Amino acid sequence: MSIKTNNKPLVYKTHIFYKMVNSIKSNFVWIVIIALFILGCSTEEAIEEPKKQESISYSEEDSNENALSIITLNLRVHIMKDITMVHPTGFPLENWVTTDDVEKTIVPELNDIWEQAGIVWSIESILEENVVKGENYQESLNYIVNAKRDSNGNSDPERLPHLYSLMQPQHRSAEENLRNNLFHIYLFPFIGNTSQGNAMKSFNNHSVVGTWTNKHNGGGIPEKTLLTESHSSFTRGSLARTIAHEIGHVLTLSHNECANECLMGGTNSDGYQITDSQIIASRIEAIGRSF
């Protein structure tokens, strides 16, 4: 089943800005001006004032004066099917998220989070995709469900090629199309102990998240990942927030670039805020991918 939308609003100022970036990269003074432009530009073509998030507090007047021009990016969501992953605790894990969950709950929350950067995610398609079952299929499942973090808290990178091998090649982006306006999120039942998501940078950013997680209980019996969670009472994170975080990596953002209640705070990140410098960086990348 797939759900398609083709809404691609282009903002004139954004187009002019992108040309400026390419032509004046070496001039520091202009870079400062461009940064101010990204944070402060507004346009009559922008969408209606978005509803406020719980995690961000600003006045209506400030919102109107500092409204960002909207950048629309396309998202393909892959719900991985025909797969049962048996956790070492004996618990069988299958994908339970539906296309309605993605369309009506996850993506609206994703847009609430990224609204602060003026980035809107449009569903290109939602695919219910059967996994590839090659000769090493069972070996891959066994490796993934047993993968753990090391003593320094780093997740096991060796599980990533196993996850990538389960993706149908015809639904991935070809090498020559990686800079196009299409971003991928794969929903697997489980992606490793105490892990909820990975941007898969080494695999062309075909990002993965788990619909079951044991990150919150230190590697115990996995439980269904929350679809969303209140921005004001962060407890364990959610599927929508994890997707927002991994997409942040795809838009060039790194961990530990802010101190408290951050979207990109790393292993123990506990919030939704995107800093001004992160907004600049993500919008530059988004503009480059939106044409």
Distance CA 41, CA 234 (A): 32
Q: Within 10 Å of residue 255's Cβ, how many Cβ atoms? A: 14
Tally of residues, the chain = 291
Token pair listed for 234: 């962060």
Distance CA 140, CA 166 (A): 8
Domain range summary for the chain, segments of one domain joined by +:
71-279
pLDDT above 70 covers what percent of the chain?
A: 76
Is the pLDDT assigned to residue 290 strictly greater than 60?
A: yes
Task: Please give the average per-residue pLDDT across 17-44, as a whole number.
Answer: 44
- Residue 267, pLDDT score: 61
Closest CA to 128 of 162, 98, 173, 165: 98
pTM of the complete model: 0.79
Please give the CATH topology (third level) of the domain spanning 71-279: Collagenase (Catalytic Domain) (3.40.390)
Q: pLDDT (tens digit, 9 = 90+) per residue, 175-187?
A: 899 999 999 999 9
Q: pLDDT (tens digit, 9 = 90+) per residue, 85-107?
A: 999 999 999 999 999 999 999 99
pLDDT above 90 covers what percent of the chain?
A: 66
- Residue 48, pLDDT score: 42
Q: Are 20 and 34 in contact (CB under 8 A)?
A: yes
- Mean pLDDT computed over every residue of the chain: 83
